[in-house]
Amino acid sequence: GESVGLHLPTLSVQEGDNSIINCAYSNSASDYFIWYKQESGKGPQFIIDIRSNMDKRQGQRVTVLLNKTVKHLSLQIAATQPGDSAVYFCAENVQGGSEKLVFGKGTKLTVNP
């Protein structure tokens, strides 16, 4: 069925290090993936997305990697800053199918100064 999960519920890194947040999905029909950042008391904030015809996409300090063979998605944050501390969710969608996003449970990233 449709489900998106995360390997680690928490991640703690030192300021300036690179962070890698992982996500596994089970719906092989999913072809659109998004990473959201959610700070306490706020709604999810769009970070970056990737479509299934790509393996990698880069943004500002962030890179998303998609491995369709093993149904794995990762978010890499370069030079992690205290402001990056938040919960990160991956979400999936089947383009042309349901409009809903299916979210995983999230990974809480803590950046230590």
Partner 1 sequence: DTGVSQNPRHKITKRGQNVTFRCDPISEHNRLYWYRQTLGQGPEFLTYFQNEAQLEKSRLLSDRFSAERPKGSFSTLEIQRTEQGDSAMYLCASSPDEQYFGPGTRLTVT
91 binds partner 1 (CB under 8 A): yes
72 binds partner 1 (CB under 8 A): no
Binding residue for partner 1, selected from 11, 21, 64, 102, defined by CB under 8 A: 102
Binding residue for partner 1, selected from 42, 53, 70, 113, defined by CB under 8 A: 42
Single-letter code of the amino acid located at 104:
G
In eight-state DSSP terms, residue 3 is: -
Phi, psi torsion values for 83, nearest 5 degrees: -70, -10
Residue that is written with structure tokens 């803590």 in the block = 110
Contact 75, 21 (CB under 8 A): yes
Segment contacting partner 1 by CB under 8 A, of 12-20, 53-61, 74-82, 97-105: 97-105
Phi, psi torsion values for 84, nearest 5 degrees: -85, -10
Residues in touch with partner 1 (CB under 8 A): 4, 34, 36, 41-46, 49, 89, 91, 98-106
